[in-house]
Chain A
């Protein structure tokens, strides 16, 4: 038993070097991350450490980092693959430690002992151990779990569709190196442990059986000595592949293993990505596992085939401080943010990487807070884009008047902008200047309700503006209220329609149900496809897209939206309407127009639908 008390063999050094390298690296990183937090965030951190939030964070670490619950939502097999690798490996380490403590009786001992425990203690004899649910049994069980996940990972590399991913990330060379190292760890461990067990006639159902098979394969009569020469080399191999993995880990996607845990804690404490806390942004880039889940939802994957613009590539480009322009190639539609298993604030990270040039800082916004000083209950802010779709403005004024509400049109001459387009382009300073101006105007108007037709403005008013005593509604919400309070009456017509949910309204602002309720009140048949909201392509988030790409995105979205053969496409955003208009085969209308038509008894479809159709035909050729 001499080996038990101070077990050592040179091969463990490789693992130890690797492991300590990773330890020191991430210790240094941890300090850097916390150091480069803004005072506000550091305060948040200090006040929340010894509170229930830490327990909640710990729970989330288990649910997310180990079990990857969120990925199960995307695809069960993909979820199982990640869970098996993460949770399986964690259990191997845990049980390995307990086993080594139990047998060696020493709680504090070099870390390598538990990792290579099977080498030092071949364990219970085979085949009896198969039936005793002891350590060996559980170690084999979790090893098998990990290997099953590994098999799925290999399949994903070649046929990712089977795991629900049309496309997967094209990894960098160093990532592929770490990947191969990771893939080699567990098979070699299996062989190493089985060789030891085979040579000593021990091992449970997996290692024992395999060990036995190996020894019998090598020599006809069952002699244990035949495996002896293979034991040490296999353990050397196991330790060196671990070293390779640990050395490459900090520079590859696997840095997310330690980083994500730290991220979960800081996020639970309320810290968010901001210009003032570069540390947290850096931590976020390390937490990205580059799993490629964000590629499929991104509509630019089809519109810009072959271009690596999706969030995983973008995060990697910031992390490695590469100077690229892809921070501009993102429509800010947040479809990727919705599915990101690590929950990174991808939208804000893109905005921050867009140099702030204090745009919009010199312009003065002219609006009309109150007509001749008289306060009105409702302030209607059409939005700059809505002035290019005047039918929405005309319809809204008809609705306001029909409902007899006391309202004031804030920007009749279209000289006001909410500031969000600046924010989307990373111009936070300019955006703030505009916000201050409008905010003061709105409060000065004395209105209680601010209604806007543009989801982009709506989100800005909700998220950034501080309007005490003032409610903000998108006109779909306001119209629904009018109907529910019987202030206006709409009758359902026989047409079939489909609703395109603007990104900034649905995902962006959480206004999901009201538009759909309005649809049911307006149209007999609703063929809206049950998929995540699609971006129309006209987004301000991606200024660099040329017209051809935008039209490609629009056509892709239309293909889905009109799959149910609707007569008309309804949307709730002037920009979406303007983008779909020239490309859509069927008329595109805003809720306001549809409601106004049914109120004033006008024809249900815009009169020009026929000419619109023919005109669309030619323009679709662009």
Chain B
């Protein structure tokens, strides 16, 4: 095969969201547990009222929307910072679609594999 020649520039991997080959297992799993989540209209109220979101780059709407599109939650230039969620529940109080967003946050933590092993249950 050809050696990896360097011509002084790199081909860019596409930024396209490829829905054809998306692995939406996490999304389907979450939609079962928190069924109201499918009614989200991405209005942004949750991200707006989120105390953690103001000081840390944690945007809850973008996070669970990325999951809906089966995108990688944890990327180096967009770390999800989900662990900075305070679970204070303000987002749940303001959600116009009545989605239990606090529970969604907990479920995302549990279902996104490497978080769950942080501290095993009793």
> Of B52, B54, B110, B120, which contacts A360 at CB under 8 A?
B52
**A570 shortest CB reach to chain B, Å:** 20
> Complex: how many Å from CA A414 to CA B91?
13
Name the contact of A355 in the complex, choosing from B55, B100, B120 (C-beta under 8 A).
Answer: B120
**Inter-subunit contact A388/B122 (CB<8 Å):** no
From the candidates A361, A415, A544, name the one contacting B84 in the complex (CB within 8 A). A361
Chain A interface, DSSP helix/strand/loop, else mixed: loop
B44 interface contact, C-beta 8 A:
no
Could you say which of B2-10, B11-19, B101-109 contacts chain A?
B101-109
* Residues B87 and A357 in contact, CB atoms below 8 Å apart: no
**CB of A345 within 8 A of chain B?**
no
Q: Is B83 a contact partner of A359 (Cβ separation < 8 A)?
A: yes
Complex contact A546–B87 (CB within 8 A): no
* Residues of chain B lying within 8 A (CB to CB) of residue A237: none
Query: A574 — nearest CB in chain B belongs to which residue?
Result: B93
A544 touches B100 (CB 8 A): yes
By a CB distance below 8 angstroms, the chain B residues around A361 are: 83-84
A358 and B121 CA atoms in complex are apart in Å by 12
CA distance A361 to B115 in the complex (A): 12
- Partner of B93 from the list A366, A385, A414 (CB cut-off 8 Å) is A385
Contact between A363 and B58 (Cβ–Cβ < 8 Å)? yes
B110 touches A357 (CB 8 A): yes
Question: How many angstroms from the CA of A387 to the CA of B49 in the assembled complex?
Answer: 9
Number of interface residues of B (CB under 8 A): 35
Complex contacts, B83 vs chain A, CB 8 Å? 357-362, 430
Q: Which residue of A lies closest to B112 (CB)?
A: A357
DSSP majority for the B interface?
helix
Please name all residues of chain A whose beta carbon is closer than 8 Å to the beta carbon of B90 when the two chains form the complex.
Answer: 384-385, 387-388
CB-nearest residue of chain A to B85: A359
Contact with A along B48-86 (1 / 0, CB 8 A): 010110111010000000000000000000000111111
Q: Is A416's CB within 8 Å of the partner chain B?
A: yes
- A538 CA to B100 CA in the complex, in Å? 11
A364 in contact (CB, < 8 A) = yes
Inter-chain CA distance A365–B50, complex, in Å, is 12
Give residues of chain A (360-393) contacting chain B, Cβ–Cβ below 8 Å: 360-366, 384-385, 387-388
Residue pair B119, A328 in contact (C-beta under 8 Å): no
Given contacts A388-B94, A416-B51, A425-B106, whether A540 and B87 have CB atoms under 8 Å apart is yes
Assess whether B88 is in contact with A421, with CB atoms less than 8 Å apart.
yes
Interface size class of A (residues with CB under 8 A): 35 or more
Indicate if the CB atoms of A422 and B87 lie closer than 8 Å: yes
User: Is B116 on the interface with A (CB-CB < 8 A)?
Assistant: yes
Whether the Cβ atoms of B88 and A543 lie closer than 8 Å is: no
- The answer to whether A355 touches B87 (Cβ under 8 A) is no
B35: shortest Cβ distance to chain A, in Å? 8
Q: Would A360 and B119 be within 8 Å (CB), given that A385-B93, A544-B103, A546-B100 are in contact? A: no
CB distance from B71 to the nearest CB of A (A): 21
Counting CB contacts under 8 A, is B43 at the interface? Answer: no
Which residue of the partner chain, among A355, A388, A429, A434, contacts B121 with CB atoms under 8 Å? Answer: A355
Chain A hits for B36, CB < 8 A:
546-547
Bound-state CA distance A543–B101 (Å) is: 9
- Contact A363:B52 (CB < 8 A) given known A328-B103, A544-B103: yes
CB of A286, distance to nearest CB on chain B (Å)? 15
Which residue of A has the minimal Cβ distance to B104? A543
* A543-B103 in contact (CB<8A): yes
In the complex, which residues 15-53 of chain B have their Cβ closer than 8 Å to any Cβ of chain A? 36, 49, 51-52
Q: Are B86 and A543 in contact (CB under 8 A)?
A: no
Interface contact A352-B84, CB-CB below 8 Å? no
Contact residues, A309-337 vs B (CB, 8 A): 318, 328
Give the residues in chain A near B109, CB-CB below 8 Å: 357, 359
CB of A171 closer than 8 Å to a CB of B: no
| Interchain CB contact under 8 A, B118 and A363 | no
Contact yes or no, A281 B122, CB < 8 A: yes
Flag if B102 contacts A417 (CB, 8 Å). Answer: no
Partner of A578, one of B56, B93, B121: B93
Q: Is B49 in contact with A352, judged by CB distance below 8 angstroms? A: no
CA distance A184 to B61 in the complex (A): 61
Residue of B nearest to A425 (CB): B87
Identify which of B55, B100, B105 contacts A364 (C-beta below 8 A).
B55
A1 to chain B, nearest CB (A): 58
Task: Kindly state the separation between the CA atoms of A357 and B84 in the bound complex, as whole angstroms.
Answer: 11
Given the known inter-chain contacts A353-B121, A357-B116, please indicate yes or no for A547 contacting B52, CB distance below 8 A. no
CB nearest neighbor in A for B82? A359
Chain B residues with Cβ below 8 Å from A388 are 49, 90, 93-94
Chain B residue contacts of A127, Cβ below 8 A: none
Closest to A419 in B: B86
A239 within 8 A of partner (CB): no
B98 CB contacts on chain A under 8 angstroms: 546-547
A275 contacts partner chain B, Cβ-Cβ < 8 Å: yes
Question: How many angstroms between the C-alpha atoms of A365 and B53 in the bound complex?
Answer: 11
A427 at the interface (CB under 8 A from B): yes
Q: B100 contacts which chain A residues (CB < 8 A)? A: 543-547
Q: Given the interface contacts A358-B83, A363-B84, A388-B90, does A415 sit within 8 Å of B116 by beta carbon? A: no
B114 to chain A, nearest CB (A): 10
Contacts of B81 in A (CB 8 A): 362
List residues of chain B with CB within 8 A of the CB of A278: 122
Contact among A352, A358, A359, A415 with B122 in the assembled complex (CB-CB below 8 Å): A352
Residues of A within 8 A of B55 (CB): 363-366, 415
Roughly how many angstroms separate A3 CA and B85 CA in the complex, as a whole number? 75
Docked-complex contact B84 and A362, CB < 8 angstroms: yes
Report whether B110 and A355 are in contact in the complex, using a CB–CB cutoff of 8 Å: yes
Q: Are A417 and B86 also in contact (CB < 8 A) when A356-B118, A362-B56, A366-B55 are?
A: yes
User: Which of chain B's residues has its CB closest to A427's CB?
Assistant: B87
Report the separation of the CA atoms of residues A293 and B87 in the bound assembly, to the nearest whole angstrom: 31
- With both beta carbons as reference points, the residue of chain A lying nearest to B122 in the complex is identified as A352
Cα distance A415–B49 in the bound complex, in angstroms:
9
Could you say which residues of chain A place their CB within 8 Å of the CB of B89? 385, 421, 540, 543, 575
Task: Return the chain A residue nearest B115 by Cβ.
Answer: A357
* A353 CB contacts on chain B under 8 angstroms: 121-122
The A393-448 residues at the B interface (CB cut-off 8 A) are 413-417, 419, 421-422, 424-425, 427, 429-430, 434
Closest to A276 in B: B122
What are 7 A-B contacts defined by CB distance under 8 Å? A356-B121, A360-B83, A364-B55, A388-B93, A429-B119, A543-B103, A547-B100
- A-B CB proximity, top 6 nearest: A363-B84, A362-B84, A547-B98, A543-B103, A356-B119, A363-B52
With A358-B115, A359-B83, A425-B106 given, can you name 20 additional A-B contacts, CB distance below 8 Å? A278-B122, A328-B103, A352-B122, A353-B122, A357-B116, A359-B87, A359-B105, A360-B87, A363-B84, A364-B56, A365-B55, A366-B55, A384-B51, A387-B90, A414-B51, A417-B51, A417-B88, A540-B102, A543-B102, A578-B93
